[in-house]
């Protein structure tokens, strides 16, 4: 049974403590609180990996921090709210899950939202699994670009989050360039026609390579990215099953970029 199914079914043995558990509890409501009172639940210092704990931590952190990032430039735009809802739709969340996700988003917008404890617990619950934390950052970057611009305050906040998760500034720059290119890259938009120089440049950036790189290096980068974003691997590390569709779409975009480069180079 999924982490969400266990919440709905009243099986709370995996439940989070700490700030993530408090936010999720406030969003889910009475049944969640009753479950915490009637049975054992994990603290924020769980001793080992637990898929349901990691999944609930990821879900809670991604939507609450998404709201916090959206508010970083002073106001939450209609585009940013639409982006949050788009992520929920891509995840095929049901009515109750959407209600909880939007409540978490709104909690993140509040002036008293404490980012540092949230990121600290998220990192701990993920057991420092870098691939999982990178997907978290990619989703936040997509949300920040919802209005078409990465504002200075949003960028500064995302850099801070990236550093708190243990990633370098160089890694952040690579992720930002990849997400920016991904927003404008569609692998089939030039089907049957030679790709434009801009589209081809976006394909290289999406894979994190340069046009000057040789074929072997590009193929290596493609395989690495496909491995990092493989839905089954991400689920095994704790990605909520509701987010598998996002991961699948990501691998399709990576493959489309590689195919474009392959065709252009006649590999």
The confidence score (pLDDT) of residue 152 equals 92
> What are the domain boundaries of the chain?
185-267
Express as a percent the part of the chain with pLDDT over 70: 82
Decide if pLDDT at 101 tops 80: yes
Q: How confident is the model at residue 166 (pLDDT cuts 50, 70, 90)?
A: very high
CA distance 155 to 231: 27
The confidence score (pLDDT) of residue 252 equals 85
- Choose between 193 and 209: higher pLDDT: 209
CA distance 154 to 151: 5
Q: Map tokens 């970057």 to a residue.
A: 141
In whole numbers, what is the pLDDT of the chain averaged over residues?
Answer: 81
pLDDT, tens digit, 9 for 90 and up, residues 14-55: 567 889 988 988 888 744 544 444 333 344 444 445 788 888
3-state helix vs strand vs coil in the chain, percent to 5: 70, 0, 30
148-175 mean pLDDT:
93
223-250 mean pLDDT:
81
111-140 mean pLDDT:
91
pTM (predicted TM-score): 0.79
The confidence score (pLDDT) of residue 180 equals 86
pLDDT, tens digit, 9 for 90 and up, residues 58-85: 999 999 999 999 898 788 888 888 888 8
Does the structural domain 185-267 have CATH classification 1.10.1200.10?
no
Distances from the Cα of 63 to the Cαs of 43, 143, 150, 226, in angstroms?
21, 10, 18, 25
Decide if pLDDT at 102 tops 80: yes
Q: How confident is the model at residue 104 (pLDDT cuts 50, 70, 90)?
A: very high
The confidence score (pLDDT) of residue 185 equals 62
The confidence score (pLDDT) of residue 95 equals 87
Lowest-pLDDT range, 35-39, 141-145, 252-256? 35-39
Backbone angles phi, psi at 128, to 5 degrees: 60, 30
Nearest C-alpha neighbor of 203 from the set 216, 189, 192? 189
Give every CB contact of residue 245 below 8 A, 6+ residues apart in sequence.
Answer: 90, 91, 92
The confidence score (pLDDT) of residue 267 equals 77
Distances from the Cα of 204 to the Cαs of 185, 216, 219, 221, 250, in angstroms?
10, 14, 11, 10, 15
- Judging by beta carbons within 10 Å of its beta carbon (0-12, 13-18, 19+), is residue 105 exposed, middle or buried? buried
CA distance 4 to 97: 8
The confidence score (pLDDT) of residue 39 equals 39
CA distance 91 to 123: 22
Token code pair at residue 211: 């046009």
Lowest-pLDDT range, 5-19, 27-41, 154-168, 170-184? 27-41
The confidence score (pLDDT) of residue 120 equals 96
Express as a percent the part of the chain with pLDDT over 90: 31
The confidence score (pLDDT) of residue 42 equals 40
Longest dimension (CA), the chain: 64
Decide if pLDDT at 149 tops 80: yes
Length of the chain: 267
166-180 mean pLDDT:
91
């Amino acid at each position: 049974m999924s982490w969400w199914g266990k919440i709905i079914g009243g099986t709370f043995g995996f439940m989070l403590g700490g700030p993530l558990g408090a936010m999720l509890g406030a969003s889910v409501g009475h049944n969640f609180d009753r479950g915490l009172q009637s049975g054992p639940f994990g603290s924020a210092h769980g001793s080992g990996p637990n898929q349901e704990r990691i999944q609930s931590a990821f879900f809670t952190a991604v939507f609450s921090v998404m709201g916090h990032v959206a508010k970083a430039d002073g106001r939450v735009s209609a585009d940013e709210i639409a982006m949050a809802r788009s992520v929920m739709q891509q995840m095929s969340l049901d009515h109750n899950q959407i209600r909880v996700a939007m409540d978490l988003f709104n909690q993140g917008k509040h002036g008293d939202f404490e980012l540092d404890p949230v990121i600290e617990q998220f990192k701990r619950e993920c057991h420092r699994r870098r691939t999982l934390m990178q997907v978290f950052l990619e989703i936040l970057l997509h949300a920040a670009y919802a209005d078409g611009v990465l504002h200075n305050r949003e960028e500064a906040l995302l850099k801070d989050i990236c550093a708190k998760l243990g990633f370098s500034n160089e890694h952040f720059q690579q992720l930002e360039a990849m997400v920016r290119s991904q927003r404008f890259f569609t692998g089939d938009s030039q089907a049957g026609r030679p790709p434009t120089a801009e589209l081809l440049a976006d394909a290289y950036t999406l894979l994190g390579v340069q046009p000057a790189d040789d074929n072997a290096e590009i193929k290596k980068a493609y395989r690495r990215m496909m491995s990092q974003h493989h839905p089954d691997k991400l689920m095994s590390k704790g990605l909520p099953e509701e987010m598998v569709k996002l991961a699948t779409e990501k691998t399709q975009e990576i493959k489309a970029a590689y195919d474009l480069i392959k065709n252009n180079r006649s590999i």
